[in-house]
Amino acid sequence: MPRWLAHIIVVAVFASLIALAFSRVDYVWNWAGVWEYRQKFLQGFGVTVALSLASLVASTLIGIVAAVLLGSKNVMLEAVGRVYVELIRGTPLLVQLLLGFYVVASAVGLENRYVVGVLVLALFSGAYMAEIFRGGLAAIPQTQRDSARAIGLTPWQSLRLVILPQAVRLVLPAVAGQFVSLIKDSSLLSVIAVSEFTLAAQEVNSFTYSTLESYLPLAAGYLLLTLPLSALSRVLERRYRYEA
C-alpha cells in the first residue's frame, strides 16, 4: 500500500471518530455568530505567524551562541551557558512571560508587548535549541575530526564539510519538534495581552458565548502552521541522509 494512501486512511478514521464524538454532544452550534468576527481571527493569525517567525529566527541564533558557550573550554563562559540553560528549562514559560514583561521589561523601560513576547519566547526556546545543537555536535565521533585534519582540512573546512552536514542530519527531528512547540507556546502570549491568535479566540468566545466554535478554528490554525514545518523537516532529513 502506498504511504500516502495509508495516511489518508488513518486521517479518515480519526476524522470519523471525531465526527462521531461531536454527533453525540448535545450542543447548539452558533457558527453564524462567530463568523461575524472572522476578521479578528485573521488578524490574530497574522500576528501569530509574524511572532512565531521572529521567535524561530531569534531562538536559533540564541541556541547557537549558547551551544558555543556550553562547549567552551573557558569555565566562566561554560558556566554562563549552563546557568542560562538550566534556569530557563527549569522554570515555566508562563512565569517567564510574567516576570519578563511586568518586572524586567518595566525595569528597563521596554513597553512593547510584542517585542517582549518575542524575546521571552526566543530565550525560552533557545535554551532547548542549545542542548539540541550541543548534543548533535557531541554525537560526531572524534575520528571524524581527526580524519579531516589528516587530509589537510582547516578547522573551518572540517566544520563546514565534515561535522555540520552530519550534525544537521542528527538534530533536524529535534529542531523541527522544538519549532512546533515554539509556535504552540506562542499562545501563552495572551497572558500579557498580545493580540495573537489565542487571544482573538478568547475574545470571540467572550462576545458570542460560543466556546467550541471559537476554539476549533484556533486548533485548525495551529495545525496549518505546524504541519508544513513537520513536512519540511522530513524533506530535509531525506536530503541529508547518507548510508552509515
CATH number at residue 146: 1.10.3720.10
pLDDT digit string, tens, across residues 44-81: 999 999 999 999 999 999 999 999 899 888 999 999 99
Q: CA 32, CA 185: separation in Å to the nearest integer?
A: 29
Phi, psi (degrees; rounded to nearest 5) at 114: -70, -45
Residue 33, domain member (yes or no):
no
Q: Does 199 map to a domain?
A: yes
Residues 6+ apart with CB under 8 A from 194: 47, 51, 113, 114, 117
With b meaning 16 or more CB within 10 Å and e meaning fewer, what string describes 20-47?
eeeeeeeeeeeeeebeebeebbeebbeb
Q: Which amino acid is at 95?
A: V
With respect to residue 171, please indicate whether it lies within any of the assigned structural domains: yes
Q: How many CB atoms lie within 10 A of CB 62?
A: 22
The answer to whether residue 30 is domain-embedded is no
Residue 243 has pLDDT above 50, yes or no: no
Total tally of structural domains belonging to the chain: 1
Instruction: Quote the radius of gyration of the chain (alpha carbons, Å).
Output: 22
Separation CA 38–CA 204 (nearest Å):
9
Give residue 59's pLDDT.
95
The residues near 141 (Cβ < 8 Å, ≥ 6 apart) are none
* 22 in any annotated domain: no
Element (H, E) at 195: none
In a domain, 100, yes or no: yes
Examine residue 74 and state whether it is found in any structural domain, yes or no.
yes
Q: Measure the CA–CA gap between 206 and 178, rounded to whole angstroms.
A: 32
Distance in Å from the first CA to the final CA of the chain: 28
Q: What confidence tier does 121 reach under pLDDT thresholds 50, 70, 90?
A: very high
Residue 141 pLDDT exceeds 90: no
Note down the domain range covering 193: 38-240
CA distances for 202 relative to 34, 191, 193, angstroms: 12, 11, 11
User: CA separation (Å) from 238 to 144, 166, 194, 235?
Assistant: 22, 13, 38, 5
The three cell numbers locating residue 240: 541529508
Residue 2 falls within a domain, yes or no?
no
Q: Cβ(178)–Cβ(125) under 8 Å?
A: yes
The average pLDDT across 23-47 equals 90
From CA 41, how far away is CA 48, in angstroms rounded? 10
**pLDDT (tens digit, 9 = 90+) per residue, 172-227?**
888 888 999 999 999 999 999 898 999 999 999 999 988 899 999 999 999 999 98
The residue count of the chain comes to 244
Q: How far apart are CA 61 and CA 165, in angstroms?
A: 18
Report the 10 Å Cβ neighbour count for 154: 11
Q: How far apart are CA 183 and CA 135, in angstroms?
A: 23
